[in-house]
Each structure stands twice: as structure tokens, then as C-alpha cells.
Amino acid sequence: MKTTTTRSVQTIVFVLIAVGLIALALGGYLTPLSRIVLNPILAAQTWISQRYQAVQELVNAPQDTARLQQENSQLRTENSQLQSQIIELRQQLAETSVLSALVDFARANPENRYQAAAVIARDPSPFLNYVIINRGSDDGLRRGMPVVTQQGLIGRVDAVTAGASRVMLITDPASSVNVILEPSRAEAVLSGQITGDLSLEMIPQDANVEPGDLVLTSGLGGGYPQNILIGQITSVRSREQDIFKSASIQTLVDFNQITIVLVITNFRPIDITPLLPGEAGP
Amino acid sequence: MATLISIPIFALLMILQSSLFSRIPLLYGTMDLLLLVVVAWALQKRVQTAWQWSIVAGLIYNLVSALPLGIPLIGYGITTGIALVLRRQVWQFPLLAMFITVFFGTLITHTISVTALRLVGHPIPLVEAFNLITLPSLLLNLILAAPAYALMSDLAARLYPEPLEA
């Protein structure tokens, strides 16, 4: 009985001491004491932890490097694949936009039948402005057919093989196109130059021609269909002693960057050479 | 064998010339890969097929180009003749012979081309053609002359190996 009472008293005393310590701790009275006790423990923990981590890194590092190198090479491969995909998609996008513009052009001119072709090469001679396209007689192309883009006239087919054709650009020095100027309706001749520029010759002196006028094919001579846009006049040169005016023109077509063209396949050029003076036979 | 191998070589060069190098002009002049190879081949001391190579080059050029028939053949033929003369005269300095032949070869091929084009009705102005096309082409050809010579020397060494001394 006595023993039981003593144990109860001890328990109560311990509880009271514990409650007292908790109350003191909550009140902040034990902070200096806990600091004194905990600091060495924390320092020891930190030291052991650092050494453990160092040893762990030493053991695991080679494996991690190998894994990281492998991951890195995989990511590099993926990156290069994605980069090439981006380039491919950009090319497809550019091609699609060109094709879309060409389709719009074909829809806007339903009277003509077209054959699309890609420009695959240029004439190796620097004196000639010709391009080679990847469509030929197997695709219905014939010599003399006009070649256009959505931005205007390019030239005409000069030579044809089964699978490819050579196109003389209107910028070639040998090219001459009969044109009509809008709104004046004056007729002139468009000539190519060795520099790839275009010039208008034989504009009548009395024609009211100004910069900004449109240049369209006239169809005269039978070499090209009527009313295909070529460009705009940029400047007019006129001297009183000359019989004709001349002008410079600016095309929308960049002749150095042509990639896809349309060949007008239902146009047959008319050869008027036998009708020209001096060309007819006896 | 040495003649037959010229066909794929010039075909490949023509593809490169027309689809790539003709699109990267200096002013309006472009390099002439076929001329460079014709000259470099003709200047190799053991080569005996220089004329055949120049004929193949001229024919392949004419297949693609709108130049009048036979004009590249004449240009390359005359250039090959110059190269063979120089091979005998300045055999100690093959690279010098290469530069001299490329210089005169470019001028000759361009002169023949312009003359022929003017005869068939292309109104090519001579001074502009010389300043804007021939001079830049000459520069480009001279820049590529040394690498072309080195490549053709390697090919000649494979096709015409040095005879072993007894």
C-alpha cells in the first residue's frame, strides 16, 4: 500500500517536472540551455553528414557522369532531329505558300491551263538568263509556251526534252516582248539586259507614260498571250530628238529566287517569221 | 578507262555548276568548274587523255546550255591546246601553268561565247560583258585553280601511277 502511494507521488512529481520544463521551454527560458546542449550535436551531425555525402558522391559519381553523358548525347540527337524537322517544315511552309499563291493565280485566270514546274538549274553560261524546269514533253510542254508565276511573266519555253525544259527568261538580252502600258494603252517593246534588268523601248513620243504605269503583254506578234502582268514603270527617259521614249521597269518577280513556275499549256505561239520582210522565201 | 571516267565526273560537275554555282555569282560572273577540271587534267604530266576530256566537257556543257552548238567544245579545245603547250614549256611549275591557262582559258571561252551569241542575234554589250561577267568570272576561276589542280593531281596519280623503278 505504502509502495503504491510512493510511486504515485513520484509519478505526479515527474509529471509536474515535465509540465514545468515544457512550460519553461514554451516560455523561452530554456533556449540558452538548449543551445549549449544542441550546438555540439548539430555540429557533429553536420560533419558526419558532409563526410557521408562526399563518400556517396565519390562512389556514385562515375555512374552519374556516364548516365549524364548518355542523356546529353540523346538530347543532342533529339535536338538535331528537331532542328532538321523545323528546317524541313519551314521549307514545306514556304513551298506551300508559293503553291497556294500559284493556285490563286490559276483560279483568277481560269481561261488558261497550267502545268506547275520546279526550277532545278540555271544555264551554266553567265551570258545567258535561262532556267531549267523539271517538266518536259511528257507533261505536255512544247516550245514557245509562256511561263509565269503569281507575280507575273517569267519567260517562255525555249527547248524541251522528255523530262525537262529550258526556259528563256524575259531578262535575257535576246528576249523581247511586245507590251502594252496601262492606263495609256501605249505599245512598247520590253527587252532584257545582260545585268538581268528590263528596259522598255519604242514607246511613242506622244504617249502619256508615267512612273507607276503597269506593263502587260499585248499579245502582238503571237509570242505571248495578252494581259499578263510584267511589272511597273519606274522611270521614263525622253529626249526631243529621239523618235521613241524609253523606260525602266520594276518587276515583282525576283528572277534570282524563282523556285516554282506555271507553264501555260493551252497557248500555242504563232510563228510569224515567214511573214516578216526579208524572211519570206522567193 | 581514263576517258570513260570523265563522263560521270563532268556530269556531276555540270549538275553542281548549273544547280549551285550558277546561283552564286560574283557581280554577274560565275566560276566554270568544267573549264578548271579540263585545264587541271591537261596539265598532269602523265595524262594522255586531255583532248578526250575536253570533248566530253564541251558536249556535256552543250547538253544543258543554250549556247550555240559546239561553242563550249571550241573554247575548251583551245584551252586544252594552251594547257598542253604550257605543260611542255613550264613543266617545272605546274601551278603557274595552271594559273596562266585558267586566265587565258577564261578569256578565250568568254570571247568565243560572246562572239557566237552576238552572231546569232543576242545583243550583248561588249564592255559591260567584260566588266560585269568576264572579270568576276576570271577572279573566281583563279581562286579555285589551285584546289582544282590538287584534286586532279590526286586523280591522275590513281589513274596513272608512277612506274616502279627496277
Using one digit for the tens of pLDDT, what is the confidence trace for A215-243?
Answer: 999 988 888 988 888 999 999 988 878 88
Average pLDDT over residues B17-22: 89
- Give pLDDT, residue B140: 95
Q: Quick count: other Cβ atoms within 10 Å of Cβ A218? A: 20
Q: Are strands A198-204 and A187-192 parallel, antiparallel or unpaired?
A: antiparallel
Q: Which three cell numbers stand for residue A164?
A: 525537262
Q: Which residues of A touch B137 (CB under 8 A)?
A: 126
Kind and range of the H or E run holding A216: strand A214-217
Is B166 within a domain?
A: no
Domain A111-268 bears CATH identifier 1.10.287.110: no
Per-residue pLDDT at A278: 63
Cβ atoms A194, A237 nearer than 8 A: no
The per-residue pLDDT for A160 is 93
The alpha-carbon gap from B141 to the nearest alpha carbon of chain A, in Å, equals 13
Q: Is B1 domain-assigned? A: no
User: Which of A119, A120, A122, A197 should we substitute to test contact with B (largest number of B Cβ atoms within 10 Å)?
Assistant: A122
Full-model pTM: 0.74
B67–A195 CB contact, under 8 Å: no
Alpha carbon of B75: minimum distance to chain A alpha carbons (Å): 12
Q: How far is B60 from chain A (nearest CA, A)?
A: 11
pLDDT digits (tens, 9 = 90+) for B86-145: 988 877 788 999 999 999 999 999 999 999 999 998 889 999 999 999 999 999 999 999
Q: Which domain holds residue B124?
A: 6-159
Query: Do A174 and B30 make contact, defined as CB atoms within 8 angstroms?
Result: no
Q: Which chain A positions have a beta carbon within 8 Å of B34's beta carbon?
A: 124
Amino acid type, A107: R
B164 within a domain of the structure (yes/no): no
A124 touches chain B (CB under 8 A): yes
Cβ contacts of B66 on chain A, cutoff 8 Å: 123, 125, 128, 130, 158-159, 166, 168
Residue B59 — very low, low, confident or very high, per pLDDT cuts 50/70/90? very high
Q: Measured between CB atoms, which of B19, B66, B67 is closest to A158?
A: B66
CB-based contacts of B122-129 (< 8 A; 24+ apart in sequence): B122/A127, B122/A128, B122/A172, B122/A173, B122/A174, B123/A173, B123/A174, B123/A191, B124/A127, B124/A173, B124/A194, B125/A194, B128/A194, B128/A195, B129/A127, B129/A194
Residue A92: pLDDT above 90?
Answer: no
Q: How many CB pairs under 8 A join A and B?
A: 79
Cα–Cα dist B90/A200, whole Å: 52
pLDDT classification of A62: cutoffs 50, 70, 90: low
Mutate to test the interface with B, among A123, A125, A130, A258 (most CBs of B within 10 A): A125
Q: What is the mean pLDDT of residues B23-37?
A: 92
* Residue A190 and residue A177 in contact, taking contact as beta carbons nearer than 8 Å: yes
Give A185-226 pLDDT, tens digit per residue: 889 999 998 888 899 999 988 888 889 899 999 988 888 988
Total of domains in chain B: 1
The span from the CA of B92 to the CA of A267, in Å, is 61
Q: Mind telling me how many Å the CA of B11 is from chain A's nearest CA?
A: 13
Look at residue A282 in the predicted model and tell me its pLDDT.
44
Residue B88 lies in a domain: yes
- Using the Cβ of A278 and the Cβ atoms of chain B, whether some distance falls under 8 Å is answered with no
CATH 2.40.10.340 residue ranges of chain A are: 111-268
